[in-house]
A and B are shown apart, each in its own frame.
Chain A
Amino acid sequence: EADIYQTPRYLVIGTGKKITLECSQTMGHDKMYWYQQDPGMELHLIHYSYGVNSTEKGDLSSESTVSRIRTEHFPLTLESARPSHTSQYLCASSEFGDGETQYFGPGTRLLVL
């Protein structure tokens, strides 16, 4: 069973606010990922990390930034939230090998007014 946590689960915030979405995993996985999921269900990779001090942009351009200072922690930050950032954000982790199986957190549903 995967142990990956995301907080908050739901967030309603006004335009222009800075927000940080938290993601933590207790499995010791080196790889971590952030996905943005549209209401139409499709997942888009926006950031990933292969280990401490490693961050890369994903396939979908995003105004968010990430950091990886500790193996277990991979927060995502929006400096100035806009209504276009309204979406669900899913965090995942995986270890090298294991068929690249990714384990997902419960998600954060963000609404920017």
Chain B
Amino acid sequence: AQSVTQLGSHVSVSEGALVLLRCNYSSSVPPYLFWYVQYPNQGLQLLLKYTTGATLVKGINGFEAEFKKSETSFHLTKPSAHMSDAAEYFCAVSDRIQGAQKLVFGQGTRLTINP
């Protein structure tokens, strides 16, 4: 079964600085990969996803992620952090478990933006 590891449960950056949230997965075949964002007291919102094709995926709010098969990674980046980016971020990978297609989530990374 797939597993997802998000390096760093808390990441803090200054406003205007680069945001880098790390995600590694375990897979022997190319998976579907996702990043979701969760703002306080809300559900998860899809930021971006990789299914097939171009390995650099652009999402909403200026975020992008690159699928690197050789590194089994799908790190999320944004060139310049904004205060409104403060939220929880979840990486997920699709997997077939006991015949059912499911999403396996990482444990989440809390992003804090310092003024």
Write the residues of chain A forming the contact surface with B, with a CB cutoff of 8 angstroms.
Answer: 4, 6, 40-43, 45, 48, 50, 56, 59, 90, 92, 99-107, 109
Contacts and interface: CB of A to CB of B under 8 A. Distances in A.
Contacts, number: 55
Given A100-B103, A101-B34, A106 B51 contact: no
Interface of B: 32, 34, 36, 38, 41-46, 49, 51, 88, 90, 94, 97, 100-103, 105, 107-108, 110
Contact of B44 (A42, A48, A104): A104
A109 B44 contact: no
A41 B34 contact: no
Contacts of B88: 41
Contact of A48 (B36, B42, B102): B102
Given A56-B100, A99-B94, A43 B41 contact: no
B102 A109 contact: no
